[in-house]
Amino acid sequence: MKTVHQPCPSSQRQTAGGLLSGPAASLPRLATIATTTVLVVAAISAAQAESQWSQFRGPNASGVSDTAKPPIEIGPDQHVAWKIEVPWSPSSPSIWADQIFLTTFHDGQLETRSHDRRDGHLIWAHGVKPEKLEDFHRTDGSPAASTPASDGQRVVSYFGSFGVICYDIEGKELWRHPLPVALSGGRYGSGTSPIIFGDRILLNRDQDGGSSLLALDIKTGGTLWETQRPGFSGSFGTPVIWSHDHVNEVVVPGGVRLKAYNPASGEERWVVEGVSSFVCTTPVLGQDQLYFAAWSPGKADSSFPTDWPTFVKQFDKNGDGRVFLSEFDPVTSDFLRGMDIDRDGELTEKDLNAFRAISAKAENVLIAVRPGGSGDITKSHVAWSFNRGLPYVPSPLYYDGRIYLVKDGGLMTSVDATSGKALYTQERLGTAGSYYSSPVAADGRIYVASLPGKLTVVKAGGEKPEILHQADFGERIFATPALVGDKLYLRTQTQLYAF
């Protein structure tokens, strides 16, 4: 944008009110320059907003684009702008301008990759080879499960088996910050993703010992601060930034408790007690409140035995009175090994009692938190709570005054964000199975992908989910879609699509 000023003789400027001369003559010109500057900055900001999905689940992990207008009819043969084959990992795509960033575990290396958003071709890929891999879920997990984040100059990736590594957008390594191999929460692998806030990278590193919230300098990778999180393990949620009342807070989900910290210093600000014991989800913001929802097996799962004789009866396969993880198929073993506190491969009454103690403090619940609290705000700042249709892995979605939840089995719930009143509860989407991908929304529509590979497009609002379109991709979907411009980007088990 360029403004042309017509010269006037004798340093005079003609205005609606007459002639100005001397110092006053510069005022309209300064005002024009100021206005032009504001318009340029606004245009740049708008253009950037329309070409960014810069971290896990987009702007502040919201899952919402206010500008994107992706197609409704999306499928393996519908509205495909391009598709390319990519190595499998469950991490989601992030986007800045014309680049799509992915992480993957490929040829024994933990890779960060850049693809061209216009046609999908690989621009660059760089990897690090870890000395040792963290434990991860053998059927659904990967040591490259975290989504990279970008600020337009850099792209930052986190790997639980290595630490944090930063490249410029052309693929040149800028720095690396090695960390000890993560003692993966529940031995399922890492799931949290890094976020960028100003000049720092914030990383939730909850694990089976030594859990912490870490802040790194984005330019050097040096540690700015690290706050220990004793008592937290097995949480996979990504932090969000909550700005209100002239303060910023980084809110971090975790087992049993939801906590907020000062992003400048790491000092704890508030805590809400009594959420799920095992957390996979990320909070969302809307209507000046913060919303968090999570479910995990345990207290609210009546089919799970909590006394030792019943536990042995159900899980002792060879009848010797002992329960070893090696007795089970991989899926069941991966589920149960999160209870193996001493990691000796055997589940004992001590392990079960420890699990029960954690579950006794936990609650599977959706909560709305009001701003402005400090200390323990469980009773003072929780506006409302709701306990039906809760998600295990997919994060909640705030969109147009509602909270949407997606539960395994293809069940959708919608709750009024102001009152907590159910608008509809556990309505079937017609796509059964587990859900790992989180719902995203744009242009009045919600996009939901199931683990077996079925995508459902739902009209936002209404008294029940109005299904606009469904498609079967024929392979599993772990990743959360990205929404930029007129396109939706989806990573399946073997492909990266642009629609």
CB 341 within 8 A of CB 361: no
Cα pseudo-dihedral 232, 373, 280, 396, rounded to 10: 170
**Of 6-10, 22-26, 38-42, where does mean pLDDT reach its minimum?**
6-10
For residue 141, pLDDT beyond 60 = yes
* Segment of 15-19, 49-53, 164-168 carrying the highest mean pLDDT: 164-168
pLDDT band, residue 346 (cuts 50/70/90): confident
Q: Is 327 helix (H, G, I), strand (E, B) or coil?
A: helix
For residue 117, pLDDT beyond 60 = yes
Question: Could you tell me which residues come within 8 angstroms of residue 477 by beta carbon, excluding any fewer than 6 positions away?
Answer: 436, 437, 449, 450, 451, 452, 453, 455, 490, 491, 492, 493
Q: If you write DSSP's letter for every residue of 202-236 in order, what string do you get? A: EEEE--SSS-EEEEEETTT--EEEEEE-TT--SB-
Question: What is this structure's pTM?
Answer: 0.84
Q: How far apart are CA 86 and CA 114, in angstroms?
A: 11
For the chain, percent of residues with pLDDT exceeding 90:
65
The predicted model gives 261-279 an average pLDDT of 94
The predicted model gives 323-332 an average pLDDT of 78
CB 483 within 8 A of CB 442: yes
pLDDT band, residue 241 (cuts 50/70/90): very high
Q: How far apart are CA 212 and CA 304, in angstroms?
A: 30
Q: How far apart are CA 383 and CA 14, in angstroms?
A: 58
Distance of CA 474 to the CA centre of its chain: 25
Higher pLDDT, 387 or 345: 387
Count of CB atoms situated within 10 Å of the CB of 269: 17
Average pLDDT, the chain: 86
Q: How far apart are CA 339 and CA 334, in angstroms?
A: 10
Tokens encoding 367: 């909560």
One-letter amino acid of 208: D
CATH 3.40.50.300 for domain 51-296+362-498, yes or no, is no
* pLDDT for position 335: 66
**Of 39-53, 106-120, 309-323, where does mean pLDDT reach its minimum?**
39-53
* pLDDT for position 25: 39
Question: Could you tell me which residues come within 8 angstroms of residue 222 by beta carbon, excluding any fewer than 6 positions away?
Answer: 177, 216
Tokens encoding 25: 């003559």
In order of 63, 97, 100, 361, 467, the CA distances from 497 in angstroms are 18, 17, 11, 43, 22
* Cα end-to-end distance, the chain, whole Å: 32
For residue 446, pLDDT beyond 60 = yes
**Of 148-162, 164-178, 251-265, 342-356, where does mean pLDDT reach its minimum?**
342-356
For strand 173-178 and strand 195-197, is the pairing parallel, antiparallel, or unpaired?
unpaired
pLDDT band, residue 354 (cuts 50/70/90): confident
Work out the burial of residue 258: count CB atoms within 10 Å of its CB; fewer than 13 is exposed, 13-18 middle, 19 or more buried.
buried
For residue 228, pLDDT beyond 90 = yes
Tokens encoding 385: 């709570």
For residue 197, pLDDT beyond 80 = yes
How many residues would you count in the chain?
499
Sequence spans of domains, the chain:
9-47, 51-296+362-498, 308-358
In order of 148, 403, 413, 440, 483, the CA distances from 459 in angstroms are 30, 14, 13, 12, 16
